[in-house]
Copies of this chain bind each other. A is one copy, B any other.
């Protein structure tokens, strides 16, 4: 049941195990007949090269692997990031370890420690924690990190984010332009950096338009259901909003659901942050601030790979633009 090793192959082929090593690695300096004998023995024994042992001895201690830690792989935004990263990794024959952090700080710490023990070559992470100083020591030791979606805190490493403040401002301004003054906003919990930034953009836009900020119109929700509930409550309140800015994809889903249930899809305006695949299937279509997840993922992967290939540029900070896509829901005028 034990797997065959080079020694076993060598014994079977009647050569030294070093000769097997040469054949397996396609190194020159082995005569034709011996190559054949070794290959026959490899096939007969089902021998498989052991990369762990190889990278242990091999001068350049590379494992040809990287890790991706995202918020939730089943969420379409994370899933698209993963896909884009994987596409880039694939070209370089890198294996990608992936998992979800679920906004759990301790899980992040535990996983990073584990990945370093495995000597993974690099990491792309959408951090759950709010202090990334612990990464400094590992980065100095040659572990490469690129943060994604959220900027690093207390450490300076490569990162790729989108213009959350600008996007939220744009969404809010768009609704203001349709005459709305009571604009609700549903964000992720405030410990999430993007939620804070999008809330910032919302407040800035209101302030610039001279509209007073009303905390009663602000809600946090982690899930589609929680968002739907929050919207339902807002609609039932004494002074309900006439428009909603839903600051994340699952929240947009919940908001659309609540509006539909209330039969107000045509009356209450809404703009969502994150494009969603079904936005144009609804009537009205959902107006969104689209962030290009594939571009974010690809860029992050390229930054990481350049580090793995030896780049020593100072940390690179990439902020990608977002784009408002009007589809109907955001163009509903105040009545």
> Quick check: is A56 within 8 A (CB to CB) of the other chain?
yes
- Check A74/B79 contact, CB under 8 A, given A49-B117, A50-B119, A257-B281: yes
**Which of A65, A79, A119 has the largest number of chain B CB atoms within 10 A?**
A79
A132 interface residue (CB < 8 Å to B) = no
Over the window 77-110 of chain A, the binary record of Cβ atoms lying under 8 Å from chain B Cβ atoms (1 yes, 0 no) is 0011011001000100101111110000000000
The docked-state distance in angstroms from the alpha carbon of A52 to that of B118 is: 6
The answer on a CB contact under 8 Å between B142 and A1 is yes
Q: Are B63 and A74 in contact (CB under 8 A)?
A: no
Main secondary structure of the interface of A (DSSP, over half): mixed
Binding stretch for chain B, among A149-157, A197-205, A234-242, A272-280: A272-280
Q: Which chain B residues border A140 with CB–CB below 8 Å? A: 46
Contact A97 B97 (CB under 8 A): yes
Closest CB in chain B relative to A277 CB, distance in Å = 6
Interface positions, chain A 95-137, Cβ under 8 Å from B, are 95-100, 113-119, 137
Q: Does A306 sit within 8 A of B, measured CB to CB?
A: no
Cβ contacts under 8 Å, A75 to chain B = 79
Listed residue (A63, A140, A276, A278) with the most chain B CB atoms within 10 angstroms of its CB: A278
- Chain B residues contacting A3 (CB-CB under 8 Å) are 141-142
Chain B nearest CB, measured from A87 CB (Å) = 8
Contact between B83 and A52, CB atoms less than 8 A apart: no
Whether B63 and A52, one on each chain, are in contact in the complex, defined by CB atoms closer than 8 angstroms, is yes
Q: CB of A35 within 8 A of chain B?
A: no
Question: Can you list 10 A-B contacts with CB-CB less than 8 angstroms, sorted by A residue number?
Answer: A48-B117, A49-B117, A51-B117, A52-B63, A65-B97, A82-B98, A224-B277, A253-B277, A276-B278, A278-B281
A-B contact sample (11 more), CB < 8 A, given A46-B138, A90-B99: A48-B117, A56-B56, A73-B79, A75-B79, A86-B98, A95-B115, A97-B97, A256-B281, A276-B278, A278-B278, A283-B283
Tell me which of B56, B74, B260 contacts A82 (CB under 8 A).
B74
Cβ-neighbour of A74 out of B1, B83, B96 (below 8 A): B83
**Given that A79-B73, A141-B1, A257-B280 are contacting pairs, would A51 and B118 also be in contact in the complex, using a CB cutoff of 8 Å?**
yes
Query: Lowest 7 A-B CB distances belong to which pairs?
Result: A278-B278, A74-B83, A79-B79, A98-B98, A52-B52, A51-B117, A74-B79
> How far is A73 from B83 in the complex, measured between Cα atoms in Å?
6
Question: Does A333 belong to the interface (CB within 8 Å)?
Answer: no
Q: A53-B56, A63-B52, A260-B281 are in contact. Are A95 and B76 (CB under 8 A)?
A: no
Is A282's CB within 8 Å of the partner chain B? yes
Tell me the complex Cα distance, A253–B63, Å: 40
Q: Which residues of B contact A82 (CB under 8 A)?
A: 73-74, 98
A72 at the interface (CB under 8 A from B): yes
**A16 an interface residue at 8 Å Cβ cutoff?**
no
